[in-house]
Chains A and B, each alone.
Chain A
Amino acid sequence: MQDSILPTSWGSSPFDEQDLDALLAANTSPSESTSAVPPALRQVADTLAALRAAPSPAELRGEAAIRAEFRARAEFAPAMVTPFGGPGRGRHGTPRRGRGTRGRGRGTPGRGGRVPAHARRGGLAAAVFAAASVVIAVAAAYSGNLPGPAQRLAHVALAAPSARQSGATTGASPSMDVRSARAVVSPSRPAAANSASPGPAVSPSAVETPAANPASLCEALSLSLEDPSFGRPWWETPAYKQVSVAAGGAARVPEYCAAEWAKLRPHDYPQVPVTPGSGNRPSGNPPSGSQPSGNPPSGNQAPGSGASGNQGSIPGHLPGQG
């Protein structure tokens, strides 16, 4: 590259790029200029030296204003920090973002200092996250994608689709708990499933609790019929055994349970006489395909065993009801 702005025919270059770099790097002083700087660049060197000259008073006259700005900032920012020594400096010393700050306690005790910027950002992020979570939860509730208990709660609280509806569209999880299982497949009490009226307190432990009230035992038995993941076949559950005893025999269990539920919710269970073996249900008809999942063993293993198998839930068909 030609260094001189003069045509080459005018003679050799009066300076080269190293001279220019030296001027830019300020590694020559004006005192050296007579010897180190090419004569053609002496005026340039003097100009650059003048640019580096000591500051004039006019260039420092804004100090009071910037001091005031700093003072105001320091008074209202109690979390000014000393970020020295840490890694991660931004390019060219730009302030790092998202770094923790350390309070220095400049504010007088009890004085309400301004919330540091990082804290404001953190609070805002938390609020946004919470709002987003609520929106997502509501959307999931209305789309029926919540887990069974949560969907049931959303159904009660938000009028979201019931677990039954969501299970029909999204597929009920086999790990759904017993309460949601009741809501999904209990064919005999659709009104109860959708009305969210308080029913008998039923929990998995109720199945194992001998002292549970009759309605709870019937509810537990119903659950054991409906939920394949209940843990054991329904005919082996203590609930079934207790209900059978209380009803006076396996064949009377449906009638017994219908009567017990009708005591709790007479509107949901019209007083339809149930004749054992007739196949009539106290209320409603089960939707097609909603069958209990546990198949009783063939033969007489199931109490009141019969040839009809498990064609319905309580109340309704029970094995041996014919």
Chain B
Amino acid sequence: MPISLRDGAFDADTQLVVGKEFEAVLAAAQEGSEDAFAVLWRDVNPALLRYLRVVAQEHAEDIAAEAWVQVVRGLPRFSGDEAAWRAWLFTNARRRLFDQARSRRRHPAQPLDDIRGDEVPRSPDAEQIAMENLATESAIATLSRLPEQQAEVILLRVVAGLDTDVVADMTGKTPGAVRVLAHRGLKKLQALLSGAGVTL
């Protein structure tokens, strides 16, 4: 049986999704329980990384780390359910994303051509990641080919599990515009998959 990240109509779910226990876990984390906070982190971080790999690409992990630091700072004052928790985290990540984009515009990065080969940072497990979760990586790569706004809306709806109104609020669009973007993105995705003959 396939295992899904989000708890929904899919019967199977991972134990990392908090679900009904969210309220108690959050309370424990706000009381200072490191283990409870780790549960929250494991719940959302994979989805956050997948979202950021599409919209921020190579900066995904940096932005995710910055967003989590902000979340840790604001955790004592947070109140809400798991959906609100996710919305808060993704909103935070979007802000970090925009901040970093502005920073990159002001301070352009040094091209890799100018860096010696032995200085190029290597991800030791990039290949391992691809092998372990080829389907997910392939899906992320396919989503990355969509127009940015369409891809973001689809990811926020599908990966983050946010409803249309929340996504509209986050992105500053109307729910109708979000829905249109998502539908166009899915149609574009369908066309890409059909034309490319991608098999997941």
Partner-B contacts on A (CB < 8 A)? 5, 17, 20-21, 23-31, 40-41, 43-44, 46-63, 65-67, 69-71, 73-74, 77, 79-84, 86, 88-97, 99, 101, 104, 106
Contact = CB atoms under 8 A, between A and B. Distances in A.
A92 B88 contact: yes
Given A51-B140, A104-B32, A63 B42 contact: yes
25 contacts: A17-B183, A24-B157, A25-B8, A26-B158, A29-B9, A43-B190, A48-B154, A48-B158, A51-B140, A57-B132, A59-B46, A61-B125, A63-B42, A66-B45, A70-B34, A77-B76, A80-B76, A83-B30, A83-B76, A92-B166, A93-B80, A93-B85, A95-B79, A97-B77, A101-B76
Q: Is the interface of B mostly helix, strand, loop or mixed?
A: helix
B103 interface: no
Contact of A73 (B2, B72, B81, B129): B72
A88 B37 CA distance: 23
B139 to A, nearest CB: 4
A50 B1 CA distance: 13
A96 B14 contact: no
A224 B194 CA distance: 104
The interface size bin for chain B is 35 or more
B42 A27 contact: no
Given A52-B5, A84-B79, A94-B74, 15 more contacts: A31-B1, A40-B190, A44-B190, A53-B4, A56-B46, A57-B132, A58-B132, A59-B50, A62-B61, A63-B41, A67-B38, A91-B169, A93-B79, A94-B91, A97-B77
B158 A24 contact: yes
Contacts of B125: 58, 61
Interface of B: 1-6, 8-11, 14, 16, 23, 26-27, 30-32, 34, 37-38, 41-42, 45-46, 49-50, 61, 64-65, 68-69, 72-81, 83-85, 87-88, 91, 125, 128-129, 132-133, 135-136, 138-140, 142-143, 154-155, 157-159, 161, 166, 169-170, 179, 182-183, 186-191, 193-194, 198, 200
A73 B11 CA distance: 37
Contacts of B14: 54-55
A107 to B, nearest CB: 11
Contact of A20 (B9, B78, B132, B182): B182
B134 to A, nearest CB: 9
Q: Which of A27, A41, A56 has the most CB of B within 10 A?
A: A56
Given A24-B182, A46-B200, A70-B37, A51 B50 contact: yes
Contacts of A92: 80, 84, 87-88, 91, 166, 169-170
